[in-house]
Amino acid sequence: MQCPFCLSQDSKVIDTTKIASRGIRRRRECLQCGERYTTLERPILGTPLLVKKDGTRESFNRDKLKEGILIACGKRPVSAAKIERLTGEIEAKLQRMGKSEVQSRVVGDMVIQGLKELDYIAYIRYAIVYLQLDDLEDIRSEIDRLLTD
């Protein structure tokens, strides 16, 4: 592992901890400059290509998924840990599917379900775009559906 301070390749592991998102956190010390830093290790499992509505294919992008969830949760009392957990759960579900291609709608459905459980306002924000709720009556009926659930 390359030291982020002096770029040396020599380091030693001081502490190793398993983390909830199926990875390992390692505390390291550079043998050259003595600085300490943390690395996160996570297995790289194949995620399927996403087939968009227009038929184009796109690689799954965890950062893009997380950004969409962050936008929906903007200025809401949703912790970064919960957003990270939802992102990880969606990615893990896609990996467990074992398919080489998945409709992008599947990912959208997972996000909308996760947001519904996380925060109703974030859910409505996301639903307005995702479900193409283009007038107030559509939005009101979605809110009414939430209130009856």
Angle ∠(110,112,118) on CA atoms, nearest 5: 105
Q: Which domain holds residue 100?
A: 49-148
pTM score over 0.75: no
- Shared-domain flag, residues 133 and 69: yes
Residue 18 CA from chain centroid, whole number: 19
Same domain, 22 and 58: no
Same-domain pairing of 135 and 91: yes
Same domain, 30 and 102: no
Domain presence at residue 6: no
Q: Are 104 and 51 in contact (CB under 8 A)?
A: yes
Residue 4 lies in a domain: no
Per-residue pLDDT tens over the stretch 102-142: 999 999 999 999 999 999 999 999 999 998 998 999 999 99
The pLDDT tens digits for 27-65 are 999 999 999 999 988 776 788 999 999 999 999 999 999
